[in-house]
Amino acid sequence: AQKVTQAQTEISVVEKEDVTLDCVYETRDTTYYLFWYKQPPSGELVFLIRRNSFDEQNEISGRYSWNFQKSTSSFNFTITASQVVDSAVYFCALAMIYNQGGKLIFGQGTELSVKP
């Protein structure tokens, strides 16, 4: 079965701390795609990153970095030097490319609160 687990329901940090959001996925497919989305308090879903199963290179974008490890089926997201504007719910998602038109399976989300 395809599944995404974000075990951390809520995380609270103080500004400038580093924080890592965990994402563990399950799939039997050899080709798949993983995503992270941000949902700020305003409610929209903002795309952050997409990664395919054949590319295990870590990625860094400013204060954001992602660590993809197929061996542990994890796709973790780290925010360095967190800021108040990073406060949001973050969703990890897995694309089922062989089923239902490529639907996204979402984790339950991690609510990050960054306090000044």
Partner 1 sequence: NAGVTQTPKFQVLKTGQSMTLQCAQDMNHEYMSWYRQDPGMGLRLIHYSVGAGITDQGEVPNGYNVSRSTTEDFPLRLLSAAPSQTSVYFCASRPDRGRGETQYFGPGTRLLVL
> Given the rule CB under 8 A, which residues bind partner 1?
4, 9, 31-33, 35, 37, 43-45, 47, 50, 52, 91, 93, 95, 97-98, 100-104, 106-109
Q: Give the C-alpha separation, 99 to 101, whole Å.
A: 6
The least distance separating partner 1 from the CB of residue 48, rounded to whole angstroms, comes to 10
DSSP 86: G
The least distance separating partner 1 from the CB of residue 19, rounded to whole angstroms, comes to 20
CB–CB of 11/112 below 8 Å? yes
Nearer to partner 1, 10 or 17 (CB): 10
Three-class SS state of 72: helix
Task: From 16, 29, 9, select the one nearest 83 (Cα to Cα).
Answer: 16
Nearer to partner 1, 31 or 69 (CB): 31
The least distance separating partner 1 from the CB of residue 3, rounded to whole angstroms, comes to 11
